[in-house]
Structure 1
């Protein structure tokens, strides 16, 4: 059994021998207003691994966009994708991938897709949720007792809709038995490379990423980029609290509310922060907001007043006082220095 099979934690599903030599076949379900980047990255890794060079013939890999109606599916960018075939036998694929996007505009997948995914699960076909595709797998009742990955940007949305789950937001993808979930964006390329490595070969996976100008394949445990943090710790509770802080920079929430979301007491959160970072949650939150303000002042042309609002300060004067105490200069001085260097 390979390392990948041990990671999956289940008996490997027998991959059907195909007369045309294909080793990996993936079916895609695109939700309305899906994220084009996540879908394109995934498909391009398969495309480049499937043939010699950049010829794009589906020799070693096959990819198919599935549909109930065969209507074109609009992405969040407005570009539409036309399906290849109707929903049929899911066992013809090695994986079924649900690619999500703007979750508020697609309340559910619909009965036909839910039935199809349930049938795929019953047949032992591994299911993959990309971006908010994870939301839809859960809505279909297919993530019970599974760990799942969501983007740090959608973490709060997931908690609001599914209070019984504890999603992972500090990895680029999570493999848990016959469910794989991915934060989306560029991480979908790394997930696709993981599958190509497993079924086709490491050389083909590396070739795909290199042609796409991605240096190396990243494992699922690699943390999501999010907003750069100077505060680093291995304490999982503190990391999750920091993530919530990142997601609420413009509207700071209390430590009590953070504790409630994490299912712990305020005192427990404060104790973990003191042991892990030798600071309080309040001080850590202020550091995050000021670090983001520093980034905005240096790299954007937003007014200082707008930066203050974006970072949860009541006005530019409030920001300037805290900023100078943290960095030894005001936002205006930093902005002028950045303009001179530019």
Structure 2
């Protein structure tokens, strides 16, 4: 069996444990158990969750786990020396290390995210980038697998991360069946955006906010850097520098994000032909929009529409 350990600390958010439920359901659906599940902590014994419930844990030991996942918390709290040492040691022997939500800060504290792409909850991404500049933070992802290190966004994204691991281990059919039994009709791909208002939340200055508002209202326009810079009353070079500093993205990537978001809403809420959706949201043609959807959601527009119709029909479409 593949041993999976969830590392928890004081005040961890109990939703992190949902990731273990994914592996539990795979065991229930399999002819024989595939995963051996463990809940571990630096001290062992009862650990208090963020809302006060006590969870029993085993202390760290010399057991080598195939997969080690660090739970997240509501607050960003540095891990103890014992936890950091354990992760640094286990990283040399385990096939996979992962973090859910703010658990990414603990992997970063252990130096395990240096030079790697990683994600976390969108509200904590800027802090992760500031505290650990060697980490390539990409906050606009549900989860990221960079080699043997996996990280996920906010709490429910831990389910997507675990399902991604199951797919990696056992194939897409097993992951899809587990998702159905968990009543997750639409399993999110790792590349999917985690928060539709991310750019608006990250932009702080009036000039960048104004440019973003203009872009949203004029998606059919070219929306070049020069056009947006003019709206912000900045030179193209000043605008590009300020935009990236405030959002962590280039203007071109942000515009594509806005177009994809608008196109997704149209695909889910209207029956317009794909060619019409592509034109209304500023994509040159349906093929360019299809490639953008696959990059962002891991699925083409038709699948996004079909999933939305399925959910509206309460799973009966």
TM range (shorter): 0.5 to 0.7
How large is the Cα RMSD of the aligned pairs?
3.2
How far off is 1:276 after superposition? 7.0
How far off is 1:269 after superposition? 5.1
Report what 1:98 is aligned to: 70
Is contact 1:90–1:116 with CA below 8 Å preserved after alignment?
no
Is contact 2:108–2:135 with CA below 8 Å preserved after alignment?
no
Is contact 1:182–1:191 with CA below 8 Å preserved after alignment?
yes
TM-score (norm 2): 0.63
Is contact 1:256–1:266 with CA below 8 Å preserved after alignment?
no
TM-score (norm 1): 0.58
| Structure-2 change in CA distance of 1:163 and 1:48 (3 Å) | same
- Return the match for 2:92 from 98, 107, 122: 122
Larger RCO: 1 or 2 (CA < 8 Å, sep 6+): 1
Is contact 2:70–2:103 with CA below 8 Å preserved after alignment?
yes
Q: 1:186-225, aligned counterparts within 5 Å?
A: 186-224=156-194
**Deviation string for 1:29-71 (max 9, x for gaps)?**
112222222x232011111111238xxx982212101122213
| Structure 2 segments unaligned to the other structure (5+ residues) | 213-235, 244-249, 259-317
| Structure-2 change in CA distance of 1:122 and 1:139 (3 Å) | same
| Structure-2 change in CA distance of 1:75 and 1:247 (3 Å) | farther
Q: Partners in 2 of 1:132 and 1:126 — Cα distance?
A: 18
Count of aligned residue pairs for this structure pair: 227
Q: Partners in 2 of 1:276 and 1:217 — Cα distance?
A: 24
Larger radius of gyration: 1
Report what 2:288 is aligned to: none
- Return the match for 1:245 from 200, 207, 219: 200
Question: Secondary structure at 2:138's aligned position in 1?
Answer: coil
- Return the match for 2:40 from 52, 60, 66: 66
Report what 2:49 is aligned to: 75
- Return the match for 1:40 from 6, 10, 17: 17
How far off is 1:213 after superposition? 1.1
Question: Secondary structure at 1:97's aligned position in 2?
Answer: strand
- Return the match for 2:29 from 42, 49, 52: 52
Report what 1:29 is aligned to: 7
